[in-house]
Structure 1
Amino acid sequence: MNISIAATDDEIAACYPIMHQLRPHLTQSEFVPRIRRLMEMGYRLAALTDEGEVVAVAGFRFGENLAWGRFLYVDDLVTDANRRSRGYGSALLNWLKQHAAAAGCDQLHLDSGTWRKDAHRFYEREGMRLSSFHFVSAVRAE
């Protein structure tokens, strides 16, 4: 098992099949260019590989605000549906926590859809707690 930041286009593209399971609206042709645009704003894509194959990915970024101080925010966290319950998600989340601590972060944050009950149980098992509600409003003019 190895975890590293996907840096090359090939490494980013290798993450697509797993990320697509979490973000099915993304197309393969737009994935690398979109990740590259996000990277310009600080987004990073961590890939967990086992025997040379990507089995879990996490998209994250660093930030700082008045409420949380310096933090690592996890935008995306997903393990291949066919390989869950093998410790990959836990290993990736622990790596993210260590990465956050090494970068001087006070906290790690993530949002999870209200319907993702299995994910919520996983996060709670990993020592995370439900701390707030996230509200959203569409603002795009039609």
Structure 2
Amino acid sequence: MSLHFFTVKKLEDLKRCFPVMRELRPHLSYEEYLLIYQEAQKTDGYEIVAVESGDQILALIGYRFLSDFVRGRHLYIDDLVSTESARSQGLGAKLLIYAEEIAKQNKCKVLRLCTGVENERGVKFYEKNNWTKRAYAYAKKIG
């Protein structure tokens, strides 16, 4: 299988990525997806890198660069998903390596992400790929 990694720039590619993103974020409508992408891209430089074989998107990663007093400049991964049919083929691991290279090129020393406590499969995946649990993330709904 020949794989092609690319940064999504065109609306047609963003549209092709939506079914894959929806596997991770099933609550999103296409309209919400576009609006959130456009806002995150504009304010935080959010990018999506997709992996395709032929004309089929198999996996994607969404990331942005953040700076804070704890980690300095770092790459934050918001989204990482493979299609159900492409899982356990190493695409997620390849995307993490790809993100690490992007982080190095952009003078980051740390990559960060959060996953839900109920995501046992994800936790095992990250630990298998040499990620370390470092914090608890809290959220509080308002309104």
* Aligned position for 2:115: 112
1:23 has 2:25 as partner: yes
CA shift at 1:34, angstroms? 2.6
Aligned pair partner of 1:60 in 58, 63, 67:
63
What's the CA shift string for 1:33-74, capped at 9, x where partnerless? 331121101111111112231111111100111100110000
1:77 has 2:77 as partner: no
Aligned residue-pair number: 140
The normalised TM-score by structure 1 is 0.94
**Per the alignment, in what secondary structure is the counterpart of residue 98 of structure 2?**
helix
CA shift at 1:136, angstroms? 1.0
The normalised TM-score by structure 2 is 0.93
Return the alpha-carbon distance in structure 2 between the equivalents of residues 10 and 30 of structure 1. Answer: 16
Return the alpha-carbon distance in structure 2 between the equivalents of residues 64 and 30 of structure 1. Answer: 26
Return the alpha-carbon distance in structure 1 between the equivalents of residues 39 and 79 of structure 2. Answer: 16
Aligned pair partner of 2:40 in 38, 41, 53:
38
Return the alpha-carbon distance in structure 2 between the equivalents of residues 21 and 73 of structure 1. Answer: 20
Q: Is the 8 A contact 1:13 1:31 kept in 2?
A: no
* Aligned position for 1:4: 6
**Per the alignment, in what secondary structure is the counterpart of residue 39 of structure 1?**
helix
Q: CA RMSD in A?
A: 1.0
Q: Is the 8 A contact 1:9 1:32 kept in 2?
A: no
CA shift at 1:29, angstroms? 3.2
Q: Which consecutive unaligned segments of at least 5 residues does structure 1 have?
A: none
CA shift at 1:27, angstroms? 0.9
